[in-house]
Every structure is written in C-alpha cells, then in structure tokens.
Structure 1
Amino acid sequence: MIKLLSVRLVAIIVGIGFAVAALWAFAVGAYNAATEEVAPHLPYEKPRDIAYSFDGPFGKWDHAQLQRGLKVYDEVCSACHSLKYVAFRDLAQLGYSEGQVKAYAAAKQVPGIDPNTGEATMRPGLPTDYFPSPYPNAVAAAAANNNAIPPDLSLMTKARGDGTNYVASLLMGYQEPSAELLEEHPEAAPGPGLYHNPYFPNLNLAMAPPLSTAGQVTYDDGTEATIEQMSEDVAAFLTWTAEPTMVKRKQTGWPVLIFLLFATILAYLSKKQIWAAVKPKK
C-alpha cells in the first residue's frame, strides 16, 4: 500500500513539474512576443494570379512550357542558382528523349575525380548526375553576389506562399519605387546594391533583374520571349522541380476518392441489411 502511494506521489510531482514548465515556457514566450520590437510593415503586393495548365484537380503539365522554362533557367538563372535536387535523367519527364538527355548532360561540367591522380577535377555530366552548382562553395557565391548567397531553386516554389505565382511576379516586378511610397515609407528606398521589387516582403532585394529585356532567350518552338512569358515559363519549370509527381498525385486521388465513396455507400447498405430485423425499443 505504501509503495503504491509512493508511486502515485511521484507521478503527481512529475505531472506538476511538467505543468509548471509548460506554463513558464508559455509566459516567457508571451512576454517576449509582447515586448519584441516589430519591424515596420512595408506594403508589399500579393503575387499576381496567373493561370497555369497544372492548376486545379484536373491540371496537367504543359511539356512545351516546361521545356521553355528549362531554357530560361539554363541560359539565365543557372549563372547564379543551383538545382541540386534535380538529376539530368529527370528531364526525360519533360518529353526529352534518352539521347537528348545524354547530350544535355554531356554539355555540362560536373565535379569528378581523376582516376589517374585521384585529384578533384571537372568532367562531362552523365544522366545520373545532378545539376551542378555555379559556385564551388558558399564563400565564393557570397563574394560574387554582394554577400548574398543565391538560394537553390529546386524547392523554391514549395518554400514560398503561392510559390509559382510568387516566382513569376517577382521576376516581372522590378521597378523604381513610387514617390508616394518613399514619402510614406522612407525606409523602402533601395540601398547600395539593392533593387526595388513590390512583390518582395522587404521591397528590396540583392538580386539584380535577371529578365531585363524581351528576347533574352530564343525559344525553340518560336514562342515570343517577352519578360512575362519567360517569367511564367521558368516559374512553371520550378514548380515541376519542386514537385514532379504533382500531376500523378492528382490523377491518383480521383480513383481513391471514388473508391472511398463506393466503400462508404456499401458499408451503409450492409449496416441497413444487418440491422433490418432488429426493432428499436419503444
């Protein structure tokens, strides 16, 4: 009996200890939130609402657009940004043949090891290789970009709210701040090495406008390469890199929902059949 009481007493003490710790953490968090200096809110704009072929439950990839987006990334974005989670062989999903994938990979230089000396070297890429980084390390990346390390773009559209529209809007949004904005928010003036963009939460970012002129990229399918078109195409491509199985997931979801609906109806009818002979008590 005494042993049982001791166990209960220890349990009560431990429970009280956890409750006190939780209340203390809540109180400290509430105090910090109440006393923290909040940065002034800058009136950035929400991303534009752009229609894409993969939108909605029945959406599908537009392979022509994804190929155009790859071209924009390859000729513009890859100078600063990596795609470290994307392998060259994944490009077959965009409609490229095996030979085209091999040729694309071979045109890229990737880190390798010299089999004769064992030293690090560069070699032509293979389909199994991943997109190489444009910089050897973070220090070199920061030194080449005003101390701002360009982020990897593999998952960018998943890392930002309304990611596809955000990326496209950001690329189209470079402009000079208005006089009204600067009058109301002087802190919104871009500093040295910064560029104003109303879709960026801080309104100013270190990345120079990557898409500055129409025709910067020549599309193989003859599509006119306006800034809007290039922005939307590369945003669509980065949506694919972030979630290449998105369309398959949507296509799989419909049979699953139909099966669950059928199973629910079947279970209801079975329940009615099983309990049909049982009369409720009055």
Structure 2
Amino acid sequence: MLRKLSIIAAVAGLAFAGQALAAGHPLPPKDVKWSFEGPFGKFDQVQLQRGYKVYREVCASCHSMKLVSFRNLGDKGGPFYNEKYKNSNDNPWVKAIAKEYEVADIDSETGDPIKRPATSADHFPAPFPNEIAARGANGGALPPDMSLLAKARANGPDYIYSLLVGYVNPPAGLKIGPGQHYNPYMAGDLTAYWSGSHEKVPPGGFIAMAQPLKDGQVTFDDGTKSTLDQQAKDVSAFLMWAAEPKLEQRKQTGFAVIIYLLLLSGLLYASYKRVWRNESH
C-alpha cells in the first residue's frame, strides 16, 4: 500500500513540475534562414554592415561590446573587410569608424584621465562608466554585453531576432509592473502575475528593455528598406559575427581536415592491401 502511495505521489510531483515548467516556457524562437548556416555558409558582408549600423545607432546606447576591437571589423569575413588591406589596422573604413568614438585614457604628461578619439586597436567603449551607472540609467536592470550574446543564448541569432520582433500587447489578465515589458520569447514564469486560469498562463516573461526597433528607425546606406524585420535580422547577423568572427575560417579548416582524413584513410587502406596481399587469412 505504501509503495503504491509513493508511486502516486511521485507521479503527481512530476505532473506538477511539468505544469510549472510549462508555465514559464517561452515560445520557441522563429526559424530564420541565415547565409552563414551549414558547412559552407558565409556571412553576408552587406548585411553585416547594415547590422553594425543598427548596433551603432540603437543598441550601443545601452549595450557594450567590450570583447570586440575596431580592427576586427576589417578582418577577413568582417563587415568592412577589404582584400587590399591585409592588416585591418590600415583599413580606412575601420579608422573612420574608430574616430567616431571616444575612449578613456591617461594624459602621458599630467597623469590626468582624458578622453581621446579611438584608434583601430581600441575595443568598443562601454556606454556607461560602471555597472551602477548602467543600472541607474535602466531602471535597475543591467544591459548585457553583446560581444558573445549570440553564442551565450540558445539558438543564438534566431533567439535575438525573435525577441526583437516579438514585442506584443500583453494579454488581458496579466499584471505588468513599472519598467517591465511583455515578450513571449523571453524566459520567465508569469504565473504570479496572471489572474486567469493557471492552465492558460501566457508564454514568455518580462523584459526591462522596451521595444528598441521600429520601421524606419535606421537608414541603410545600400537603399535596403528599413523595416523592423530587416533591422532585427541584420543586427542579429552582426551579433553572430561578433560572437564568432572566425566562423568562415573554421569551416574552411574543418573541410580541409575532412579531405585530409579521407585521403589518409585511402592511403592506409591501400597500404594494408599491399602489405597483406600474399598472406592467407
């Protein structure tokens, strides 16, 4: 009898846990077809340039990208790569972009802290001097660094794209506090804020960031229509490049290694047949 009660309790516990997990489960990210997918995929350089502009004009006001240097923009596979400039520090587009920023430095004569125009060797500067200032400007929330965001989140660019285009009006019955925004692609558990049936808790969670993009917010230099969808795709691709700038080289190396292993396997098999051809088995 006790054994049966234990089994029933365990099943009930698993069912309850399943309901709790379901309540806090966001919508699965949209499946976007990216140029860099697959074993032979490559970044679309023009898309990366548009994505950089979205980051520069919108995202950079709150989000840092401290692991990326300006010179990386001119590396092979990057948004401003030009084969004429093997050393990306010599790339004039990279130099021009760096000069648009100011970075903290020390006066070599007085030792006083100063601001100077960035060079291609500098990293992207943070928009806030410290974490306290960042939280203070964002209602207590800390905007994440975007250097590795596309690799740190499951489904990387798909997730970022889905989150950016996924803002919708909250369903009736969902209580939203000040500084919060509903997004069905954001992880969270809304059970405590939902006045309806617990079996119909809406998916997603709250996010401190208001919808950052809208149609026409950024003007693209190549004439591409600046829709919300296009901006979200472009900046997601750019963040994927920032997180894995050597993606194309890695794929090329992997392909070369596979070819080498296939040739080596053929040679080993031929050697085996030659060495043992006169031996009985």
Which residue in 2 is equivalent to 1:154? 147
Once the two structures are superposed, residues 73-129 of structure 1 have per-residue CA deviations (whole angstroms, 9 ceiling, x without a partner) of: 000000000010111111113235611211111110101112232011111101100
State how far apart, in whole Å, the 2-side matches of 1:218 and 1:197 are. 26
Which residue in 1 is equivalent to 2:10? none
Which residue in 2 is equivalent to 1:204? 206
Which residue in 2 is equivalent to 1:273? 274
- Indicate the structure with greater helix content: 1
Once the two structures are superposed, residues 255-278 of structure 1 have per-residue CA deviations (whole angstroms, 9 ceiling, x without a partner) of: 211111111122112112212222
Which residue in 1 is equivalent to 2:45? 63
State how far apart, in whole Å, the 2-side matches of 1:252 and 1:96 are. 20
State how far apart, in whole Å, the 1-side matches of 2:55 and 2:95 are. 18
State how far apart, in whole Å, the 2-side matches of 1:52 and 1:223 are. 17
State how far apart, in whole Å, the 1-side matches of 2:92 and 2:263 are. 45
Instruction: Please state whether the residue corresponding to 2:104 is helix, strand or coil.
Output: strand
State how far apart, in whole Å, the 2-side matches of 1:267 and 1:145 are. 62
1:227-246 to structure 2, matched below 5 A, reads: 227-246=228-247
Runs of 5+ in structure 2 lacking a partner?
A: 1-12, 83-90, 189-204
State how far apart, in whole Å, the 2-side matches of 1:233 and 1:166 are. 13
- Shift in Å at residue 178 of structure 1? 2.6
Once the two structures are superposed, residues 164-206 of structure 1 have per-residue CA deviations (whole angstroms, 9 ceiling, x without a partner) of: 1000110000111234xx4xxx5xx432211011111111111
- Letter paired with 1:166: Y
1:126 aligns with 2:119: yes
Give the number of the structure whose alpha-carbon radius of gyration is greater: 1
Runs of 5+ in structure 1 lacking a partner?
A: 1-33
State how far apart, in whole Å, the 1-side matches of 2:234 and 2:113 are. 36
- Letter paired with 1:224: K
Which residue in 2 is equivalent to 1:142? 135
Which residue in 1 is equivalent to 2:258? 257
- Letter paired with 1:207: M
- Shift in Å at residue 253 of structure 1? 1.4
Contact 2:80-2:93 at 8 Å conserved across structures: no
Contact 2:80-2:94 at 8 Å conserved across structures: no
State how far apart, in whole Å, the 1-side matches of 2:269 and 2:81 are. 49
Which residue in 2 is equivalent to 1:28? none
Instruction: Please state whether the residue corresponding to 1:110 is helix, strand or coil.
Output: strand
Q: Which moved more, 1:117-126 or 1:225-234?
A: 117-126
Which residue in 2 is equivalent to 1:21? none
1:155-234 to structure 2, matched below 5 A, reads: 155-179=148-172, 182=173, 189-202=175-188, 203-211=205-213, 213-234=214-235
Relative to 1, partners in 2 of residues 1:192 and 1:220: Cα closer, same or farther, differing over 3 Å?
same
Q: Could you tell me which of 51, 61, 79 is aligned with 1:94?
A: 79
Instruction: Please state whether the residue corresponding to 1:168 is helix, strand or coil.
Output: helix
Once the two structures are superposed, residues 132-185 of structure 1 have per-residue CA deviations (whole angstroms, 9 ceiling, x without a partner) of: 000000000011111111110000000011101000110000111234xx4xxx
- Letter paired with 2:60: S
State how far apart, in whole Å, the 2-side matches of 1:259 and 1:102 are. 40
Q: Which runs of 4+ in 1 moved over 6 A?
A: none
Aligned Cα RMSD in Å? 1.8
Contact 2:27-2:184 at 8 Å conserved across structures: yes
Compute the TM-score of the two structures, normalised by the length of structure 2. 0.81
State how far apart, in whole Å, the 2-side matches of 1:153 and 1:222 are. 26
What number of residue pairs does the alignment pair up? 238
